[in-house]
Amino acid sequence: MKTAMNRIGVLTGGGDAPGLNAVIRAVVKSSFNAGIECIGLEDSFDGLIEHGRSRQLTPRDVTGILRLGGTVLGTTNRGNPFAYPIETSDGTRDYSDRVIEMFHQMGLDALVVIGGDGTLAIAHQFCQRGIPLVGVPKTIDNDIVGTTNCFGFDTAVAFATDAIDRLHTTAEAHKRIMVVEVMGRYAGWIALYAGVAGGADAILIPEIPFDLSHVADRLMERDKWGARFSIVVAAEGAFPRGGKLALVEEARDGYVERLGGIGAQLSSALAKLTGKETRSVVLGHLQRGGAPTSFDRVLATRFGGKAVELIRQGEFGMMVAFAPPDIVARRLDEVVGKTKTVPKDLDLLLTAKALGVTFGD
């Protein structure tokens, strides 16, 4: 069903990912060319909670941002409007009422919500409350169900691969074990792809709890045939069989738990088990910064264009998705609240195993 569209809003929520600006640019340009005004909402849903946190975006405003990391609209990964009750003279309300009021006050006809699982879940709730919107999946973790790729992932993998290449030369020179901790939250996509692309000897991912003695045995085997250095890539969410996730910070109100520390733990444990010198490196937020790769720019541009197309067709409550070679629409209610993890029978994982990479199982 087609609806008259005059003005739409666009926002970015959750952790940033390279390619956010490319989506914003595509949304702004394609809506402008279709005669639709585009309003940029700042810092996720805050732009629909506080006055003065939004601005009109024209093609002039998005010129030159295609290649930029970050987001010109700002973002936040706290601030779920459904989680903050406020007292008013009419009683207790949550901020979600305010978002809906502001949406109508601003004369918006629809929203494009660009975000990860958390932001898309919030979007889905607003959709159920009558806000016409389309979601765009974003995360370097690549863990959103229904889409083969999220933009940001390819850039993160490219950065991690380059880092592993650099660590290879120093590892070889010193005959050391280098442990590289990468992001990914509860999914091992970045570790698997960067590990294979960088020629890692061990790849540890949350989907396969590891036994460190198996990893140590594999690394010692390499010594026997003369390769006296090794590279271990560990996803931040990797954990030992029967053990626990390594955390930097527990969850607290409005904030999810922060993963991290497995690299350092593995480094000291492997030093003891192998008797070799080991070092660890945490790639951290470097994986999220900088310019998007050409793949991510193209994907983000296609996502932004498709989101406006869906809005023009009146297809709301959908998420744009990549189903190679096509960009398709998935129902938000079928994708939110789930995590796309690495299947144990994934071709790439089996190929890596066949090449002798250990996953610690």
- Tell me the closest approach of the beta carbon of residue 178 to ligand F6P, in angstroms: 21
Cα 64 from Cα 253, distance rounded (Å): 38
Interface with ligand F6P, residue 331, by CB under 6 A: no
- Tell me the closest approach of the beta carbon of residue 15 to ligand F6P, in angstroms: 4
Dihedral of CA atoms 146, 184, 12, 296 in degrees, nearest 10, equals -70
Which residue, 250 or 326, is less far from ligand F6P as judged by CB?
A: 250
Amino acid, single-letter form, for residue 351: T
- Tell me the closest approach of the beta carbon of residue 146 to ligand F6P, in angstroms: 17
Q: Which of 258, 272, 331, 353 binds ligand F6P (CB under 6 A)?
A: 258
| CA 111 centroid distance within chain | 21
Q: Is residue 110 classed as helix, strand or coil in its secondary structure?
A: strand
Which residue, 77 or 313, is less far from ligand F6P as judged by CB?
A: 77
Interface with ligand F6P, residue 360, by CB under 6 A: no
Residue 327's Cβ-count burial label (10 Å; 0-12, 13-18, 19+) is: middle
Interface with ligand F6P, residue 352, by CB under 6 A: no
Cα 211 from Cα 319, distance rounded (Å): 38
Give yes or no: 162 in active site: no
**Count of CB atoms within 10 A of residue 256's CB?**
13
Structure tokens of 73? Answer: 């609209």
Interface with ligand F6P, residue 118, by CB under 6 A: no
Q: Which of 46, 141, 143, 201 is catalytic?
A: 141
Cα 78 from Cα 98, distance rounded (Å): 17
Q: Which stretch binds ligand F6P (CB under 6 A): 26-34, 134-142, 227-235, 297-305?
A: 134-142
- Report angle CA 276, 282, 284 to the nearest 5 degrees: 170
Site string for ligand F6P, 218-257 (x = CB under 6 A): ------------------x---------------------
- Tell me the closest approach of the beta carbon of residue 285 to ligand F6P, in angstroms: 6
Closest residue to ligand F6P in the complex (CB): 183
Interface with ligand F6P, residue 154, by CB under 6 A: no
Residue owning tokens 């991690």: 160
Rg over alpha carbons for the chain, rounded to the nearest Å, is: 22
Cα 188 from Cα 232, distance rounded (Å): 14
- Tell me the closest approach of the beta carbon of residue 37 to ligand F6P, in angstroms: 32
Which residue, 140 or 282, is less far from ligand F6P as judged by CB?
A: 140
Contact (Cβ atoms closer than 8 angstroms) between residue 210 and residue 361: yes
Interface with ligand F6P, residue 288, by CB under 6 A: yes
Q: Which of 39, 120, 179, 183 binds ligand F6P (CB under 6 A)?
A: 183
Residue 105's Cβ-count burial label (10 Å; 0-12, 13-18, 19+) is: exposed
Residues in the chain: 361
- Tell me the closest approach of the beta carbon of residue 197 to ligand F6P, in angstroms: 18
Q: Which stretch binds ligand F6P (CB under 6 A): 29-37, 179-187, 216-224, 320-328?
A: 179-187
Interface contacts to ligand F6P, rule CB under 6 A: 15, 77, 116, 139-141, 183-185, 236, 258-259, 288
Catalytic residue set: 141
